[in-house]
Structure 1
Amino acid sequence: MFNAATVRFDSTPPDADGRAKPRIGELDAVRGMALCGILFVNIPPLLRMDLEKLPIPHFLDLFVQQRFFPIFSLLFGVGFGLFLASAWNRSARPRLLLTRRLLALLGLGLLHQILHPGEALAPYAMVGLAFLLPLSWANRWVNLVVGAGLIGGSLAYFGGGVANIPGLLVFGFALAQFDVPRMLPRLGWAIAAVFAMSLAGAVPALIIQDQDPLNAGFSTSSGVAGFCLAVTYITGLLLLLRTPLRRGLGGVLEPIGRMALTNYITATLLVIPLGHLIGLHESNAYGAMLLLALGILAVQVLWSRLWLAHFRQGPLEWAWRCITWWQVLPLRRGARGA
């Protein structure tokens, strides 16, 4: 359970005094990386592209499909945990705020489902209401064990995929309870060790998955490979962010990660009309699909950087926060609370 010993019940919303909350840049970068990968696997089903085993879709099955979705799910769990921990210090009813936040996400997800059946936001909200709210009363060790058990069970019986959402959200929630996100700068050797172990597990799992390509995404080997590669990608990026590459990687990934909700939704709004315009609908033109994805990501990086130069959050992130706190909060940089 979150420690309530230091709770201030003053109902003060974030940024109400005009000060921006400090962000965890590594989380934004990892979230941005996840969004990039998700876009590549979302375009084919959105445009009903031919999924025959051509080289590009086969490559995506091995290294992208179900590799970035777990990262996105885990980070949503972390985000809910960080939010609730922060809300304890600002409201007498933090769980009411979390409930409102989840219901707002559910509404947005259901609207998004109209254009993108199978999208992630509505399941995140429903799992949050069913699992995270009750488990917010539980000890952090209990949540860690529950999350790990749910992940293991989904991999063993369902091959991961959407079935992994409860475990990943709960596990991420527990990581926030342990304050792992803010400890990242001090976890260099631990991150390197996890990177080595996850990579060692991913290699044989990928080899086994490749023996049964028709069941990619539905088999245990595919789920294990996806989970191991997801951990490898997370820890690999965290290690790269400790090198001189930090400035370049952070400059590209952090802005789109800070506006993850806005960019996730707007990607759908861009893919459908542009994909039809260039003839990708029901085609197998995967080369053009890659170019479309890269073009959308370039636009999102540029517009995220420009937007965040003037505003504190993305437009959907801001609206989500206003609904959560049920008041209009400042958006423009330098503005005081309404």
Structure 2
Amino acid sequence: MSTPASTGPAGTAATADAPPRRRIGELDAVRGLALCGILFVNIPPIMEMRGVVDQQVLPGKHFLDLFVQERFFPIFSLLFGIGFGLFLLSAGDRHPRPRVLLARRLLVLFAVGLLHALLHPGEALTPYALFGLVFLLPLSWANRWVNLVLGLGGVGAALVLFGGGLPLIPGLLVLGFALARLGVPQALPRLGWPVGVVFALAVAGAAVALPVQEQDPLSAGFGTASGVAGLCLATAYASGLLLLLRTPLRGVLGAVLEPLGRMALTNYVTATLLLIPLGHLAGLPGSSAYGAMALLAAGILLLQLGWSRWWLARFRQGPLEWGWRCITWWRVQPLRR
């Protein structure tokens, strides 16, 4: 897998072994938060749990519909777009053909997603990879402001035409891609009041959209009101966390969420490997035991937190992240610290 170093655009040796750019702790923390929420969403469909009895939504399912379902995958999607954008910027400093590396990175993600889908048919990695190949690669030649407009337009069109869900992913990926190219992630530590304004607007939007969603609880997740509420709450969760990271709580929140976020791909896949046997042991398949489901999700997250902290104290990346990087650059990368 090893190849000779290429000559970069500036005439220097372009290599994957060059010192990586500083990690953005805020992004890792928000990614960790999204990972936590997505696990609570994924367990019921994988375990085929019942959410409605006699045309009444069960309390546990109702809570998830209001505050979790469709509320964390937009964050995850946006962050994947940001990650691809940051990768393209970084690869452009080290390799003469960064888009080739991005294409390879997306193809590897697609392969991982196909394998993951054998256990979790509704998994997100495959559509991220496909939409990345279809939209992000061509748009990498477009002006970053064009990317921003197209991303916002794609999100709006998906809400109007489909009410959210899977059609939101292309717009969110392009929007995140544009934000990365505009330098927004690097500026997060300096953005105070703008994040506060976004948080206030998101909370106000959710306060309007949630009562509308409540008028038809059996259709939660399938209508425009639910999609708008989901985007508003996703924005409120992410921006609210960014505000908390500017307080003395940064130490605690960072210690919990950043390790999970730094190993998001590994933790996303291994959560499925854990929840299937443990869910059967807990008797979740076909049940309505949402309390047991919540305990299982919390237990898996605690296990992954301990595992992530232990691993990252010894290694630079999670195992899947490392493999992903090795194949992307087509050479074995250093792993141990």
Q: TM-score, normalization: structure 1?
A: 0.95
Distance 1:315 1:209 in 2: 40
Per the alignment, residue 162 of structure 1 pairs with: 166
Name the CA distance, whole Å, in 2 between partners of 1:242 and 1:46. 37
1:149-188 equivalence runs, <5 A: 149-188=153-192
- 4, 11, 14: which one aligns with 1:12: 14
Give the alignment of 1:219-230 within 5 angstroms. Answer: 219-230=223-234
Residue of structure 2 aligned with 1:303, choices 296, 304, 307: 307
TM superposition shift of 1:109: 0.3
Q: Which residue in 2 is equivalent to 1:37?
A: 37
Q: Which amino acid aligns with 1:24?
A: I
Offset of 1:20 from its aligned partner?
A: 5.2
Counting only pairs closer than 5 Å after superposition, residues 1-338 of structure 1 correspond to structure 2 as 7-8=9-10, 10=12, 12-14=14-16, 16=17, 19=19, 21-52=21-52, 53-333=57-337
Q: Secondary structure at the match of 2:22?
A: coil
Q: Secondary structure at the match of 1:43?
A: helix
In 2, the alpha carbon distance for the partners of 1:296 and 1:9 equals 48
Alpha-carbon RMSD across the aligned residues, in angstroms, is: 1.1
The verdict on how the C-alpha distance between 1:8 and 1:273 changes in structure 2, with shifts beyond 3 A counting, is farther
- Counterpart-to-counterpart distance in 2, 1:83 and 1:95: 10
- Tell whether the 8 Å contact from 1:9 to 1:91 is kept in structure 2 after alignment: no
SS of equivalent to 1:161: coil
Distance in 2 (alpha carbons) for counterparts of 1:235 and 1:28: 14
How many Å apart are 1:36 and its aligned residue?
Answer: 0.1
Percent same amino acid at aligned positions? Answer: 69
Q: For the structure 1 residues 165 and 224, does the alpha-carbon distance in structure 2 shift closer, same or farther, using more than 3 Å as the test?
A: same
Matches of 1:70 and 1:153, distance apart in 2:
15
Aligned mates of 1:109, 1:59 — CA distance in 2: 29
Output the CA distance in 2 between the equivalents of 1:9 and 1:324: 22
The CA deviation string for residues 219-241 of structure 1, in whole angstroms up to 9 with x for no partner, is: 00000000011110110000000
Structure 2: tracts of 5 or more residues without a match: 1-7
CA shift for structure 1 position 157: 1.1
**What secondary structure, in the 3-state scheme, does the structure 1 residue paired with 2:76 have?**
helix
Deviation at 1:317, TM superposition (A): 0.2
CA distance in 2, matches of 1:82, 1:119: 23
Name 2:3's counterpart in structure 1: none
Residues 11-62 of structure 1: per-residue CA shift (max 9 Å, x gap): 6334x25x45420000000000000000000000011111211111101000
Q: Deviations over 1:51-78 (max 9, x none)?
A: 2111111010000000000000000000
Please state how far the C-alpha of 1:198 moved relative to its aligned partner.
Answer: 0.8
Q: Is the 8 A contact 1:9 1:89 kept in 2?
A: no
| 1: CA distance, partners of 2:11 / 2:68 | 44
- Contact 2:21/2:90, CA 8 A, preserved across alignment: no
Q: Distance in 1 between matches of 2:13 and 2:121?
A: 37
AA matched with 1:104:
V
Describe the SS at the equivalent of 1:90: coil
| Structure 1 counterpart of 2:10, one-letter code | R
Contact 1:160 1:223 survives alignment (8 Å): yes
In structure 1, list runs of 5 or more residues that go unmatched. 1-5, 334-338
- TM-score by structure 2 length? 0.95
Taking a change above 3 Å as real, the CA distance of residues 9 and 264 of structure 1, as seen in their structure-2 partners, is farther
Partner SS state of residue 317, structure 2? coil
